[in-house]
Amino acid sequence: MNMNLIRIALLILTVSMLLSCGFQLRGSQHLPAVMQKTFVKAEVPYSSMSTAMRNQLQAIGIEVPSIDDNATATIQILSHRSDRRVLSVGSSGKATEYELFEEIKFRLLDAQQRELIEPQVLRVTRDYVFDETRLLGKFQEADQIREQMREELAQRVLSRIETRLQQKNGPDLP
pLDDT at 143: 87
The pLDDT assigned to 77 comes to 97
Model pLDDT for residues 140-153, shown as the tens digit of each residue: 888 899 999 999 99
Prediction pTM value: 0.74
Once rounded to an integer, what is the mean pLDDT over residues 84-100? 83
Note the pLDDT of residue 34.
87
Does residue 11 have a pLDDT over 50? yes
Bridge partners, residue 42, by sequence? 77
* Residue 35 near residue 62 (C-beta atoms within 8 A): yes
The mean pLDDT of the chain is 83
Residue 173 has pLDDT above 80, yes or no: no
pLDDT of residue 174: 44
C-alpha separations of 10 from 1, 15, 18, 20 in Å? 15, 9, 12, 15
34-77 tens-digit pLDDT: 899 999 999 988 899 999 999 999 999 999 998 888 899 999 99
Which residues, other chains included, contact 32 with Cβ-Cβ below 8 Å and sequence gap of 6+? 162, 165, 169, 171, 172, 173
